[in-house]
Chain A
Amino acid sequence: MFKKFFTVNCFVILLAVLFIFTIRSAAMAAGLFGPLQTVSKETGGLNTAIGYFYHEDTYKNDVDHTVRLDEIYSQAAYGVKNIWEVYTRVGLANMKIFDIFSSMDASIMTDQDNFEANWEFFGTIGAKAFYPINSILGIGAFIQGTYYFSDFTDTVSGTKGGTPFITELKVKDFWDVNFGIGVQAALPYGIKFYAGPYIYYSGANVSMHSYISVPEYYLDDDTIRNKSIVGGFTGLDIPLTKGFRLNIEGQFADRVSAGIAVSYIY
Chain B
Amino acid sequence: MKIFLSLIFLCFFTVGCAHNPVPSSGAFPVKKSITQPVLLASASEQNPTLSAADAVNPVDEEYKEDEVFDNYTENAVAEEKVDIADPLEPVNRAMHQFNDKLYFWALKPVAQGYKFMIPEPARISVKNFFSNLAFPARFLSCLLQADINGAATEAGRFTINTIWGIGGLLDPSSGKELNLQTQDTDLGQTLGVWGVGQGFYIVWPVFGPSSPRDSVTIAGDYFLYPVSYISPWYAGVGVRIFEEINATSLRIGDYEALKEAAIDPYVAFRDAYAQYRFKKIKARKAKLNPSAPTEEKSASNNPALPKKEE
Contact = CB atoms under 8 A, between A and B. Distances in A.
A75 to B, nearest CB: 9
Contacts of B164: 48-50, 262-264
Contact of A50 (B163, B172, B177, B178): B163
Interface string B126-166: 00000000000000000000000000000000001001111
Contacts of B165: 48
A102 B178 CA distance: 53
Nearest to A243: B177
A251 B166 CA distance: 26
Contact of A74 (B166, B172, B177): B166
A243 B163 contact: no
Nearest to B160: A264
> Chain B CB within 10 Å — which of A49, A74, A263, A264 has the most?
A264
A46 B178 contact: no
Contacts of B160: 264
Given A49-B164, A50-B164, A74-B163, A242 B177 contact: yes
Nearest to A241: B177
Contacts of A74: 163, 166-167
A243 B175 contact: yes
- The secondary structure that dominates the B interface is loop
B166 A266 contact: no
Nearest to B165: A48
A56 B165 CA distance: 30
B170 interface: yes
Interface in A213-266: 242-243, 262-264, 266
Contacts of B170: 46, 48, 266
Interface residues of B, number: 11
Contacts of A46: 170
A80 interface: no
A125 interface: no
Contacts of A262: 164
A50 to B, nearest CB: 5
Contacts of A242: 177-178
Contacts of B172: 48, 243, 264, 266
B163 A266 contact: no
A247 to B, nearest CB: 13
A46 B172 CA distance: 10
Nearest to B171: A266
A154 B170 CA distance: 37
B178 A76 contact: no
A61 B276 CA distance: 75
Interface string B42-53: 000000000000
A48 B177 contact: no
A266 B171 CA distance: 9
Interface in A49-84: 49-50, 74, 76
25 contacts: A46-B170, A48-B164, A48-B165, A48-B166, A48-B170, A48-B172, A50-B163, A50-B164, A74-B163, A74-B166, A74-B167, A76-B166, A242-B177, A242-B178, A243-B172, A243-B175, A243-B177, A243-B178, A263-B164, A264-B160, A264-B164, A264-B172, A266-B170, A266-B172, A266-B175
Given A48-B165, A74-B166, A264-B164, 5 more contacts: A243-B172, A243-B175, A262-B164, A263-B164, A264-B160
